[in-house]
């Protein structure tokens, strides 16, 4: 595996803008990091100095990206736009990118610079690591606190950086997070998609600190689903639907992934299982949010059932159940979600209700124009996340072919992944 050497790191500044109060939806994301890798086979006109110059120009439009986290006394987080700067790191690899099989996770974790979650208020809110390979290849690793942006905002930012680098117009971001702050009304609906963590019990200095159980060994894969197979899967999942109903390709693929993972995980039949998905609700807000809105507009779809019901149902029935969950994201549900978070004394205690051993999360990046991130007249080779140890998540990605095929980056406990890879129905929809 190639070795990566850090050559320099420096802060890149923009403008000061005082304190920005993060929205109720931003609070849900908290200080967990969001990470993305963008790989290019060449780096013509993408020298570190010129990339830094274009980033600095762009950051003048994004004061939150150069600020710092500040915690609210009652819980929750905001951004002090003090222009302390984003962190930009220059690195070099001792091998050729063309000789690395990214889809087989042959990239070292040092391809990006992680956030230090032990000192979040002194960390830059985002970091950019540019790693140059011996054959001219380039990897751009972004990591930042999720509370400042979601996937839509992230890819709009990266696309803007490319446009700024080429001297082209950008989509000017709209920094108005008050549009997603509740007026203080009580929620009008139940919210199974949320779980409010109870206060921690008091602990004295003399009490022995409980040791967390050892983390299970995890395994991640990147599985390609060509468009022809996705069309067949969608066709199979469209039988016996209620009259006038339909399911999407993502519904069908989500049904396959969730059902087969529940089959290999070994839950009890009566266990309550939940599937959680993020829904970009920019167009569902009433009125719709302005184009270029910068922040989090992720509202959670939550599908609840028993393990037995999901594994014994047809894929069509599971896909329809997922479609029903998607249709529950309405302007009224969005407003009630904001009201629910706002009503909590400490919004940092609100977490997704589908985490844990019987939950599973999916997020769809395959609809983002990620391969439009163009710095010098050519598209990326691949976009995804680094080979982090993770479990209980599937990330749907576009492919460089941009023909409707989808990469799925999945993390599971290693024993469950090994069982999934030999599952008969899973392999029915895999390239032979």
Place of tokens 């200095």: 205
The predicted model gives 43-72 an average pLDDT of: 97
pLDDT grade, residue 27 (50/70/90)? very high
pLDDT greater than 90 at residue 179? yes
The predicted model gives 14-18 an average pLDDT of: 93
pLDDT value, residue 130? 98
Q: Which two tokens stand for residue 38?
A: 């963008």
Place of tokens 């995804």: 384
pLDDT value, residue 212? 74
The predicted model gives 388-398 an average pLDDT of: 94
Same topology for domains 4-180 and 215-367+383-428, yes or no? yes
Listed by start position, the domains of the chain span 4-180, 215-367+383-428
Which numeric CATH code is attached to 215-367+383-428?
3.30.559.10
pLDDT greater than 80 at residue 203? no
Per-residue pLDDT reduced to its tens digit, 208-219: 777 777 888 999
104/170 Cα distance (integer angstroms)? 35
pLDDT greater than 90 at residue 388? no
Q: Which long-range contacts (CB under 8 A, 24 or more apart) does 172-176 make?
A: 172/61, 172/292, 173/61, 173/62, 173/292, 173/293, 173/294, 174/289, 174/290, 174/291, 174/292, 174/293, 174/294, 175/17, 175/20, 175/62, 175/63, 175/64, 175/294, 175/295, 176/290, 176/293
307/269 Cα distance (integer angstroms)? 5
What percent of the chain clears pLDDT 70, i.e. is strictly above it?
99
pLDDT grade, residue 206 (50/70/90)? low
4-180 domain in CATH 3.30.559.10? yes
pLDDT value, residue 274? 97
148/295 Cα distance (integer angstroms)? 6
pLDDT greater than 70 at residue 204? no
10 or 199, greater pLDDT: 10
Per-residue pLDDT reduced to its tens digit, 91-128: 999 999 999 999 998 899 999 999 999 999 999 999 99
The predicted model gives 270-289 an average pLDDT of: 94
pLDDT value, residue 344? 96
Q: What is the pTM of this model?
A: 0.95
The predicted model gives 229-252 an average pLDDT of: 96
Compute the mean pLDDT over every residue in the chain, rounded to the nearest whole number.
95
């Amino acid at each position: 595996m190639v070795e990566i050497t850090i050559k320099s790191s420096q802060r890149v500044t923009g403008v000061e803008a005082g304190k920005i109060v993060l929205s109720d939806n931003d609070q849900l994301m908290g200080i967990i990091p969001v990470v993305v890798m963008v790989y290019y086979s060449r780096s013509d006109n993408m020298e570190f100095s010129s990339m830094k110059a274009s980033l600095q120009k762009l950051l003048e439009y994004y004061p939150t990206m150069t600020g710092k986290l500040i915690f609210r006394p009652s819980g929750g987080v905001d951004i002090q736009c003090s222009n302390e700067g984003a962190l930009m790191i220059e690195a070099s690899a001792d091998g050729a990118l063309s000789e690395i099989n990214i889809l087989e996770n042959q990239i070292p974790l040092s391809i990006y610079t992680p956030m230090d979650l032990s000192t979040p208020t002194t960390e830059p809110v985002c970091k950019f690591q540019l790693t140059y390979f011996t054959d001219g290849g380039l990897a751009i690793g972004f990591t930042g606190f999720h509370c400042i942006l979601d996937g839509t905002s992230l890819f709009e930012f990266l696309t803007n950086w490319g446009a700024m680098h080429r001297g082209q117009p950008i989509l000017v971001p709209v920094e108005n997070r008050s549009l997603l702050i509740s007026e203080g009304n009580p929620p009008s609906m139940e919210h199974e998609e949320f779980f409010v963590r109870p206060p921690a019990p008091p602990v004295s200095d003399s009490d022995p600190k409980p040791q967390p159980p050892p983390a299970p060994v995890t395994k991640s894969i990147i599985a390609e689903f060509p468009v022809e197979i996705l069309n067949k899967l969608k066709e199979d999942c469209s039988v016996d639907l209620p009259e006038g109903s339909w399911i999407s390709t993502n519904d069908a693929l989500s049904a396959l992934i969730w059902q087969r993972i529940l089959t290999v995980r070994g839950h009890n039949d009566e266990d309550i299982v939940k599937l959680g998905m993020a829904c970009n609700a920019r167009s569902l807000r009433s009125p719709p949010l302005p184009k270029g809105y910068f922040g989090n507009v992720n509202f959670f779809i939550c599908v609840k059932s028993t393990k037995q019901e999901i594994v014994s149902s047809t894929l069509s029935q599971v896909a329809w159940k997922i479609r029903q969950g998607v249709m529950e994201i309405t302007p009224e549900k969005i407003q009630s979600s904001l009201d629910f978070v706002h009503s909590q004394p400490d919004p940092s205690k609100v977490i997704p209700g589908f985490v844990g051993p019987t939950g599973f999360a999916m997020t769809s990046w395959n609809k983002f124009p990620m391969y439009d991130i163009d710095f010098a007249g050519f598209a990326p080779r691949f976009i995804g996340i680094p080979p982090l140890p993770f479990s209980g998540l599937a990330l749907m990605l576009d492919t460089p072919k941009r023909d409707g095929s989808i990469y799925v980056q999945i993390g599971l406990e290693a024993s469950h992944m090994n069982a999934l890879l030999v599952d008969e129905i899973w392999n029915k929809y895999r390239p032979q």
